[in-house]
Amino acid sequence: MKTATVWIDPDTRMIALRTPYDSFLVASLKVAIPGRSRRWDGLRQVWLIDQGFMAELEKLLATLNYKVEDGTLPHEVTTADDGDSPYHALLEGLSPEVLKSVYRVIALACHPDRGGDPEVMKRVNRAWARIEKGRAK
């Protein structure tokens, strides 16, 4: 399980997030949290995120199976138990435009032609099919 350290930065009053580098987390973070509400602090090697996006961050970390250190998130982070998690849980409840953007980011990150695992790509496609089916209702 991957580990994330989260705290409120006293200087900026923003959420500070530190994890080992994970290109999938970075891409997902950029899709889930608007650019004006997040920034990378290269000097300290942390993401700074507006506090209004705490729920989105909690969901993102939970669906990507991150263990949160120091108990600094106000709500307990739980892992989704859906068979296609973390991808399906990440996509639920988003607008159609954001859904498509998230799917594209995930598909590019997981695609076998780009070095991804074919089994993971199958799970991504199954999750996307369920999302599309749910939207058609």
Mean pLDDT, residues 92-102: 72
Q: How confident is the model at residue 47 (pLDDT cuts 50, 70, 90)?
A: very high
Q: Return the SS3 of 124.
A: helix
| 79 domain residue, yes or no | no
pLDDT confidence of residue 90: 53
| 78 domain residue, yes or no | no
Which range has the worst mean pLDDT, 22-36, 63-77, 99-113?
63-77
Tell me phi and psi for residue 80, to 5 degrees. -65, 145
- One domain, residues 7 and 59: yes
Select, from the ranges 30-34, 67-71, 113-117, the one with the highest average predicted confidence (pLDDT).
Answer: 30-34
- One domain, residues 62 and 95: no
| 29 domain residue, yes or no | yes
Mean pLDDT, residues 125-136: 76
- One domain, residues 64 and 106: no
CA 104 to chain centre: 14
| 77 domain residue, yes or no | no
- Contacts of 120-123 with C-beta under 8 Å, sequence gap 24+, read 123/83, 123/84, 123/87
Tokens of 44: 């300290």
| 22 domain residue, yes or no | yes
CB 98 within 8 A of CB 91: no
Mean pLDDT across the chain, nearest whole number? 78
Residue 114: domain span: 87-136
- Domain final position from 13, 38, 69: 69
Mean pLDDT, residues 42-46: 90
Q: Return the SS3 of 44.
A: coil
Q: How confident is the model at residue 49 (pLDDT cuts 50, 70, 90)?
A: very high
Q: How far is residue 90's CA from residue 58's CA, in Å, rounded to a whole number?
A: 11
- One domain, residues 58 and 98: no
Q: How many structural domains comprise the chain?
A: 2
- One domain, residues 7 and 62: yes
CA-nearest of 77, 97, 95 to 86 is 77
- One domain, residues 105 and 63: no
Greater model confidence, 105 or 34 = 34
| 58 domain residue, yes or no | yes
pTM: 0.53
Q: How far is residue 22's CA from residue 93's CA, in Å, rounded to a whole number?
A: 24
CB 88 within 8 A of CB 106: no
Q: How confident is the model at residue 93 (pLDDT cuts 50, 70, 90)?
A: low
Which range has the worst mean pLDDT, 9-13, 29-33, 97-101?
97-101
Q: Return the SS3 of 67.
A: strand
